[in-house]
Structure 1
Amino acid sequence: MHELTKVLMLSSSRQNDEPYLTHAKEMIKNHLNGVSEVLFIPYAGVTVSWDAYTAKVQEALPELSITGIHEHADAKLAIQNAQAVLVGGGNTFNLLNEIYKQDLLKPIQQRVYEGMPYIGWSAGSNLCGLSIKTSNDMPIIQPQSFTTFGFINAQINPHYTDYVAPNHNGETRDQRLAEFCTLYPDVPVIGIREGGALFREGSKLTLIGEHDGVVFIGTDRKLISTGSDISVYL
């Protein structure tokens, strides 16, 4: 069951109108548990350069020493030597495409199973489930596969909301997730509201943060209370 696995899956980089990553600082600090040198994977950034994205994260987390994986001549070696990995949000398809392109899926997965802390938000959290089929992002590029790390035995939907905008005639988030659940009725989908996160430590999975989450399986939809042990989805 990969007892050393430590994964923090944040729904978002912001909560409400707070500054970038402010709501997540304490969760990140606790998760890293003294680790101060972190490798950042900025591949989800499309309209922002990877240098600028890395600098933005470094500015938000000044207590850490952050380097971008793209700054290293050998990305696989950088993963092998990393004390911890941060994977930022943006476009999930671009992120996964680049990870497949550089053949980094298995190396990252193996290091995490060996105990290297992993922290993702938004697109970076999408990669922690079984696939990116429940991403909110446009498929602007086609990765080799939609299959991801599988740190939990479920799909993830970051930025989950059941808000319905007045006079909006497009599908709601619940309707979109129902489409997935119709095709894959046995696969759970966990919706994490902004400000919330999933936290895996060894064989335990917990919903943390201020907000309840939602899990969809087939035609069932049920609330998950914050603080709940949801290890059944590992």
Structure 2
Amino acid sequence: MRRLLLISNSTLHGSGYLDHCKEQIKSFLSSSVQKVLFAPYALHDRDAYTKLARTAFNEMGYDLDGIHEHKSAVEAVKAAQAIFIGGGNTFRLLKTLYDEKIVELIRERVTNENVPYIGSSAGTNVATHSINTTNDMPIVHPPTFDAIGLVPFNINPHYLDPDPNSKHMGETREARIKQYHEYETSPPVLGLREGCILLVEGDKATLKGKTGARLFVRGKEPVEYQPDDDLSALLSN
């Protein structure tokens, strides 16, 4: 049974790293997990990023290793009790996952071996169908925009609602997602506002966190969802 905790953002305004979702993480990880494997690939300074994540998980009662601290990323994923992929630049992250040849392995371990997966921001992006709806700049070129595919839809983390008082004349987030949906093969996109989390357990998906989400489906008007709402229908797309 796949178990995913897909978090919109690591840091919520007014709080520290992962503070807003620590209780969700502790509830999500089973009692059999003692150590979490962390992929810091989305940021340049992997050591500093791992230190930040290690401090947060130690406070929650878990050990944490950076995947780059192992001789082999493949062997590290094979031995992982749980996987956490953090935020940063989604293009850099996905390219490195492909470079290290662990995309299919992560998919196998999470979907068939019940290894818990936690993603935040870019780490949430790469868990989905593709990274086409990320907010990030393509600072590097992954071999494909196809992501790990743990769910059959896309997520837009840090989703921002249109501000009627803004003088900014560029496209809103909603407009950009609708542009993506001009293509017939584009899947649904779940806009996760900051503070929002999607919990997936097997064939059940539930919205969690402090804020709501906005679901975009091609050819339909966007629909609002609030914490504890059931989004399981998305898993059958």
Q: Is structure 2 residue 93 aligned with structure 1 residue 95?
A: yes
- Are the counterparts in 1 of residues 155 and 191 from structure 2 also a CA contact under 8 Å? yes
- Are the counterparts in 1 of residues 43 and 88 from structure 2 also a CA contact under 8 Å? yes
Give the root-mean-square deviation of aligned CA atoms: 1.2
Residue 169 (structure 1) shift: 1.5
Q: Is structure 2 residue 117 aligned with structure 1 residue 122?
A: no
Offset from partner CA, 1:114-170 (integer Å, 9 cap, x none): 100000000000012100000000011110111112222211000011043622121
Q: How does 1:135-150 map to 2 (within 5 A)?
A: 135-150=134-149
Aligned to 1:211: 211
- Are the counterparts in 2 of residues 23 and 195 from structure 1 also a CA contact under 8 Å? yes
SS at match of 1:144: coil
Partners in 1 of 2:16 and 2:144 — Cα distance? 34
Offset from partner CA, 1:82-121 (integer Å, 9 cap, x none): 1001100000000000001111101111110110000000
Aligned to 1:200: 200
**Match for 1:29: what amino acid?**
K
Aligned to 2:230: 229
Partners in 1 of 2:10 and 2:226 — Cα distance? 21
Partners in 1 of 2:79 and 2:223 — Cα distance? 41
Q: How does 1:50-89 map to 2 (within 5 A)?
A: 50-62=46-58, 63-89=61-87
SS at match of 1:58: helix
| Identity across matched positions, percent | 41
Between 16-25 and 164-173, the greater mean CA deviation after superposition: 164-173
> In the superposition, relative to structure 1, how do residues 185 and 226 fare at CA in structure 2: closer, same or farther (>3 Å)?
farther
Aligned to 1:107: 105
SS at match of 2:71: coil
- Are the counterparts in 2 of residues 185 and 218 from structure 1 also a CA contact under 8 Å? no
For structure 2, list consecutive stretches of 5 or more residues without a partner in the other structure. Answer: none
Aligned to 1:181: 181
Partners in 2 of 1:66 and 1:16 — Cα distance? 25
SS at match of 1:38: strand
Partners in 1 of 2:92 and 2:126 — Cα distance? 12
Between 92-101 and 186-195, the greater mean CA deviation after superposition: 186-195
**Match for 2:10: what amino acid?**
S
SS at match of 1:182: coil
Aligned to 2:27: 30
**Match for 1:229: what amino acid?**
D
Aligned residues: 229
Q: Post-superposition, which runs of at least 4 consecutive aligned residues in structure 1 deviate over 4 A?
A: none
**Match for 1:60: what amino acid?**
A
**Match for 1:86: what amino acid?**
F
Offset from partner CA, 1:41-62 (integer Å, 9 cap, x none): 000013xx10110001111222
- Are the counterparts in 1 of residues 21 and 209 from structure 2 also a CA contact under 8 Å? no
With normalisation by structure 2, the TM-score equals 0.93
Which of 39, 52, 65 is the equivalent residue of 1:41? 39
- Are the counterparts in 1 of residues 2 and 200 from structure 2 also a CA contact under 8 Å? yes
